Structure 1
């Protein structure tokens, strides 16, 4: 029979166990969880890795100095294989795990698919890795863009080609919401210079097949072809064009501005024009670039790519929001903090958020791949 003394002793041991268990759990509570769903495998794997590596440069630097308001950032990643349906499933899992923000989600259809979850769970999406206008207009109170829209860079590309005397331009676009969005900008560019595309072709995102498109392109005889699509699909499309005998100027958007994309192109990479939405990644005159290069060098990495720089800048924006949100930030506190940023100097690069404008940066430029497989401006 258990005596009062033995019962009291057992109770003390149980309480001690609970206290010990709680003390062991405290470090987890002191972390800020951030969630990312992206194509870690699949068509955009290389650029996703580069963007995430860039974000980790800043997260690691912040954590090494004690984190944000004494709390360290943990980035939880789930692979959606560049499939919008899986992206939604992953986003739900991350939300259930208690992440304070979704971050750097790759792909236009993917971001569109998770947008209903943002309002439902009152959770911010920071730095979506897409320039789709639907994320900019109308303003979504839970979406905080960092990079400029695809439409702006597509329009810039067409205007540039016209300026250098290229008149016969074709468009090959992916048949999805990303393609439909970006091509609006391209067509604005054509209208601005009083021209129309000599051919405008589409391909299936799920099963890209460029062989059927080549006869039409060959007959149109373009001087340049703007490819609107992602990763390996665009690589395959450009290779198919070269195999058809065309020497047309190859052009694509910033979502393909990665070292992995250049590697995929191989021998045909040289001379390809790729739009950019951030300053030149080797320009030491830009403080944001200088900072990223220094952190990469400290980790033994050789330089940064445009994709890495996009991830780096997005991480800086998120960290600034978390800092302003205070200790133990909630999702709603983070949203309010980001919206209250106004104008933020990221290092020679000004970002702006207000309650009526979540566009972030307004920067679009063009680069060309040189003989060494590097982007040049």
Structure 2
């Protein structure tokens, strides 16, 4: 499934308009779950990225070349994500990969990145496996899930909450979040009130909900994707638990709030970018202005993540020169030091491809918006 123009015809024969040959294009590949359980967040991060890419293209692109995002739907299936990446890299010859979604999904394409020397910018996952040890071709533009989960435990403990449970997806993403939360528990000298995992593909919270109630947990940290958190919260409430629900930044989208319905109020969501309504950050102000001019409404945290990733991608393309090959883009990204994207500084080195290390918390208010 294609969400943006694949441009096959444009690649085969460049159309003429007003007597001028159309511009050459820089193809950037993306595979993500545009349908399925993370669709809301994926659409918002992509919209945020496209907001910035459209602005760059309107100014003439990179050296006269438009940036075209070729997006394929992997339905949040790791196997399909790997196959989509193969098509984009080997058949469509994209210059770089961009804004993938999911930990096992991104892991599935790592061998292809290595084989073909293709850089990946801004994977929408904070998995430690993509940070340490450093993956040569992966350029993260966000903090790790481990830091988020650790901060969540620390924040809850600072509020006097000591009975904290963990419910997580039984995959590499879930394990990663648990590892971070355990650091927080150790620092606070606490043990999880309840620790339960569930099948990512077929979540069943029926057996877990009674355990959450029996644990008398004051708060439950859910390391899971959007729909699983929605279903888990419903099950816990139906079973009689009033525990505070906390989840990670992979669910920092307006779509996630809407999917929670009446259960949205009070849910805590960790964030890896500044407050989307704080114009004290140049990046936020810029995103707001572009969104207003385009008539696309308010900026969400997920949109801000895509916007930030696009700024890093564009900087890499600019530094790569007139003909940005995969090799040149890789070298250009590796050269980034103290790059200000609007109040936040991106840095890469041989030992660190994290890019940013910002982490914060938000809570969903009565108006259905994130508050900080």
TM range (shorter): over 0.9
Residues 76-118 of structure 1: per-residue CA shift (max 9 Å, x gap) = 0100000000001100010120100110000000011111111
Q: Residues of 2 paired with 1:271 and 1:23: CA distance?
A: 53
Please say if residues 198 and 204 of structure 2, whose CA atoms lie closer than 8 Å, have aligned partners that are also in contact: yes
Residues 343-366 of structure 1: per-residue CA shift (max 9 Å, x gap) = 100011111012222110010000
Residues 42-98 of structure 1: per-residue CA shift (max 9 Å, x gap) = 000000000000000000000000001111000001000000000011000101201
Name the counterpart of 2:156: 161
Matched, 1:296 2:296: no
Q: Give, in angstroms, the shift of residue 335 of structure 1.
A: 0.5
Residues 193-247 of structure 1: per-residue CA shift (max 9 Å, x gap) = 0001011000000100101111111110100000000011111111111111111
Q: Residues of 2 paired with 1:284 and 1:116: CA distance?
A: 40
Determine which of 104, 107, 114 is the counterpart of 1:119.
114
4+ residue segments displaced more than 3 Å: 21-29
Q: Residues of 2 paired with 1:185 and 1:69: CA distance?
A: 43
SS in 1 for 2:245: strand
Q: Residues of 2 paired with 1:327 and 1:363: CA distance?
A: 33
| 5+ long unaligned stretches in structure 1 | 1-20
Name the counterpart of 1:100: 95
Q: Residues of 2 paired with 1:237 and 1:372: CA distance?
A: 22
Q: How does 1:142-161 map to 2 (within 5 A)?
A: 142-161=137-156
Q: Residues of 2 paired with 1:263 and 1:240: CA distance?
A: 18
Residues 234-288 of structure 1: per-residue CA shift (max 9 Å, x gap) = 1111111111111111100000000111001111111110000000000011110
Name the counterpart of 2:5: none
Q: Give, in angstroms, the shift of residue 22 of structure 1.
A: 6.8
Please say if residues 174 and 223 of structure 2, whose CA atoms lie closer than 8 Å, have aligned partners that are also in contact: yes
Q: Residues of 1 paired with 2:321 and 2:178: CA distance?
A: 41
Q: How does 1:230-241 map to 2 (within 5 A)?
A: 230-241=225-236
Matched, 1:212 2:200: no
Q: How does 1:347-358 map to 2 (within 5 A)?
A: 347-358=342-353
Q: Residues of 1 paired with 2:22 and 2:217: CA distance?
A: 58
Q: Paired residues, what number?
A: 357
Please say if residues 23 and 66 of structure 2, whose CA atoms lie closer than 8 Å, have aligned partners that are also in contact: no
Q: How does 1:237-252 map to 2 (within 5 A)?
A: 237-252=232-247
Name the counterpart of 2:81: 87
Please say if residues 218 and 244 of structure 1, whose CA atoms lie closer than 8 Å, have aligned partners that are also in contact: yes
Bigger radius of gyration: 1
SS in 2 for 1:70: coil
Name the counterpart of 2:4: none
Name the counterpart of 2:60: 66
Q: Residues of 2 paired with 1:119 and 1:72: CA distance?
A: 26
Q: Residues of 2 paired with 1:171 and 1:144: CA distance?
A: 29
Residues 280-325 of structure 1: per-residue CA shift (max 9 Å, x gap) = 0000111100000000001112210000000000000000000000
Name the counterpart of 1:31: 25
Matched, 1:340 2:335: yes
SS in 1 for 2:331: helix
Distance 1:347 1:301, change over 3 A: same
Distance 1:27 1:191, change over 3 A: farther
Q: Give, in angstroms, the shift of residue 143 of structure 1.
A: 0.4
Name the counterpart of 1:4: none
Determine which of 165, 178, 192 is the counterpart of 1:170.
165
Q: Residues of 2 paired with 1:37 and 1:203: CA distance?
A: 25
User: TM-score, normalized by length of structure 2?
Assistant: 0.94
